[in-house]
Amino acid sequence: MQTPRIAVANQKGGVGKTTIAINAAAALSGRGHDVLLVDLDPQGNATEHLGLMDTYDAPEPNLYSVLTDPDERAETPQLVESHAEMDVVPSNIDATAVEPELTMMRRSSEQLDAALDYVEAGYDAIVIDTPPTLGFLMDNALYAATNVLIPALAESTSKRAFELLFDHCQHLEDELQIQIEEVGVVINRIDVRKTQAQEMIDWIEDAFDDVPVWRLRERAAVQKALADHQSLLAYEPNSDQVPTLRTIGESLEAQLEVGT
């Protein structure tokens, strides 16, 4: 059976994809699973947050070469770095050139899936952080995972972001003959003092009545943890947001049968 894979996606920028990817991966790892986090965003934020910036300008094989050259795919295991909470395939400065390269390739959305086949055997789950664009990298993440965890802010602009994301998923499902499952929505950076927040929380919970919807508050410790190269679970286990992160890990484990 294929190792369960989860793409953390929303083409809207700054909603918490990287934060949720790292913390969801850490939550699964905290439940005793071996987790691989793939930083598919050329910005390399997850790579930086996990303290792996020295690998960001690594020569080939790197994320660019394994995604754009089928002959390099078998080198994917060489990319794996270790972090105390998870293993990581870091992003790379060259990954900024992946998009134009993929436009010229056959099966342009299927390259990550093929590369992960070379590393997945060692893991119970693979979490993929995605860039804030509906481009080929995003398509590769969605095709490889077919499960999507969606972070979103409690702001009215999120409605349009969901619409665009779902239209895009529908298009990919038709074109690539796949089924993309929503495994949950994380309403992130909730600040109850903002008037729009409660209205949007209600709207999202209503719109997603058949998938789990979690609420994560705005907390300085979330950012401090990442600046310290770790998840909130490791950095501040007593944080009032940790139970939510643990629930996310537990739910992903149950939904995707992680570790069975």
Ligand X SMILES: Nc1ncnc2c1ncn2[C@@H]1O[C@H](COP(=O)(O)OP(=O)(O)OP(=O)(O)O)[C@@H](O)[C@H]1O
Binding footprint of ligand X on the chain (CB under 6 A): 13-19, 41, 45, 132, 188-189, 216, 218-219, 222-223, 226
Number of other residues whose CB lies within 10 A of the CB of residue 216: 21
Please return the burial class of 32, using the count of CB atoms within 10 Å of its CB with bins 0-12, 13-18 and 19+.
exposed
The reply on whether position 17 binds Mg ion by CB under 5 A is yes
Which of Mg ion, ligand X, none lies near 218, with the C-beta cut-off 5 to 8 A by kind?
A: ligand X
Helix %, strand %, coil % of the chain (to 5):
50, 15, 35
Compute the C-alpha angle 95/96/101, nearest 5°.
80
Q: Least Å distance between CB 111 and Mg ion?
A: 20
Q: Least Å distance between CB 167 and ligand X?
A: 19
Q: Least Å distance between CB 1 and ligand X?
A: 29
Q: How far apart are CA 38 and CA 200, in angstroms?
A: 30
Closer residue to ligand X (CB): 183 or 226: 226
Closer residue to Mg ion (CB): 131 or 184: 131
Site string for Mg ion, 36-55 (x = CB under 5 A): ---------x----------
What is residue 63's DSSP assignment? Answer: H
Q: How far are the Cα atoms of 64, 176, 194 from residue 25, in angstroms, in the given order?
A: 23, 27, 29
Closer residue to ligand X (CB): 62 or 244: 244
Q: How far apart are CA 117 and CA 123, in angstroms?
A: 11
Q: Hey, which residues does 151 pair with through a beta bridge?
A: 186
Q: Least Å distance between CB 85 and ligand X?
A: 16
Number of residues that bind Mg ion (CB under 5 A): 3
Count, residues in the chain: 260
Q: Least Å distance between CB 180 and Mg ion?
A: 20
> Out of 7, 12, 16, 18, which residue is the one contacting Mg ion (CB under 5 A)?
18
The reply on whether position 188 binds Mg ion by CB under 5 A is no
Closer residue to Mg ion (CB): 65 or 130: 130
* Residues that bind Mg ion in the complex, under the rule CB under 5 A: 17-18, 45
